[in-house]
Amino acid sequence: MKDMSELFWQASLEEIKQGFVFDNNTGEYICLLCGKAFTDGLIYSQDNQLYEARKYIEVHILRQHGSTFHYLLDLDKKLTGLTDHQKTILELFYDGHSDNEVAKALDTGSTSTIRNHRFSLREKQKQAKIFLAIMELLGARVPKKNAFINVPRNSKNIDDRFAITEQENEKILAAAFPQELHGQLATYPLKEKKRVAILRHIVKNFDSAKAYTEKEVNAILKELYEDYVLLRRQLIEYGFMDRTQDGSSYWIKL
């Protein structure tokens, strides 16, 4: 299965469809399919033609990946939810074949079978939209996962999933920061309870009386862990930090 980057999962639907994102901090267009970056303002040459970065990344995707459609279609079934048969049908549809031509290519002998496939795929699309809406509503409804942090230890509002003893906390941090507590993060575990403990420690690198730009936040987190984007996102998600809607200012939540 292809290794999907954190940047891919953070991208919007439109960005995934186009296959790239623009990073305002670095001024780069980044390919979501392979991670290659092209700097805005530079001119790139291909086959004796010159391209600005925005156009060149489209050329890159076409030459290196064929198309975003084919790249996504080729992902593992665990990610797409599609069978090999459905993938074949979708590829034939994408190439512009009629129902009759698809039926002949698949040797089904019936265009009505292909029409049924079209209908089933449209139903799957509708279900996906509804599921996305449900999950976004759920995400907006769930209380902050670290609600216990800013309340007294004996408060009934403490989320017991993330309440840990001092001994547990020391053990988690010792494993995550084997060199020194103020050094680099060696491992970022999948278990949420451990992540919360690590994030609570990481946030100490910021001044609670100061507002930071996204670039400043990234610079601090880069010193701790290579996937600084993941750390930045989770500091927000778990309520340790907050930011303006446009991401121009970040601050510690007290």
Quick: pLDDT tens for 31-58.
999 999 999 999 999 989 999 999 999 9
CB atoms within 10 A of CB 198: 23
In this prediction, residue 64 carries a pLDDT of 92
Decide: residue 180, CB within 10 A, 0-12 exposed, 13-18 middle, 19+ buried: exposed
Distance (Å, rounded) from C-alpha 84 to C-alpha 34? 23
For residues 124 and 130, the answer to whether their CB atoms sit within 8 Å is no
- Check residue 7 and give its pLDDT: 79
Q: Which pLDDT score is estimated for 160?
A: 56
Q: Examine residue 37 and state whether it is found in any structural domain, yes or no.
A: yes
Tokens 């060199």 belong to which residue? 179
pLDDT band at 4 (very low <50, low <70, confident <90, very high): low
Cα–Cα dist 204/214, whole Å: 17
Q: Which of 107, 77, 75 is nearest to 92 (CA)?
A: 107
Residues 54 and 130 in one domain: no
Residue 57 in domain: yes
Q: How confident is the model at residue 73 (pLDDT cuts 50, 70, 90)?
A: very high
Tens-place pLDDT, residues 190-230: 888 889 999 999 999 999 889 999 999 999 999 999 899 99
**pTM value?**
0.54
* Residue 146 within any structural domain of the chain: no
Helix (H, G, I), strand (E, B) or coil at 160: coil
Residue 11 shares a structural domain with residue 61: yes
Report if residue 73 sits inside a domain. Answer: no
Query: Does residue 235 lie within any of the structural domains?
Result: yes
| pLDDT level of residue 162 (50, 70, 90 thresholds) | low
Domain membership of residue 106 as a residue range: 82-141
The answer to whether residue 24 is domain-embedded is yes
Half-sphere exposure of 199 (CA within 13 A, CB side): 27
What is residue 40's predicted lDDT score, i.e. its pLDDT?
94
Q: How many domains are contained in the chain?
A: 3
pLDDT at residue 28 tops 90 = yes
Q: Strand runs (DSSP E) across the chain, as ranges?
A: 20-23, 28-31, 37-39, 43-46, 49-52, 241-243, 250-252
- Examine the domain organization and report whether 43 and 12 are in the same domain: yes
**Residue 1 domain-assigned?**
no
pLDDT at 106 over 60: yes
Output the CA–CA distances (angstroms, integers) from residue 12 to 9, 119, 187, in the order listed: 8, 26, 27
Cα 74 to Cα 80, 81, 168, 199, 217: the distances in Å are 9, 11, 43, 35, 36
Rg (CA), the chain: 23
Write down the mean pLDDT value for the chain.
Answer: 85
Please check whether residues 188 and 239 belong to one and the same domain. Answer: yes
Contact 187, 174 (CB under 8 A): no
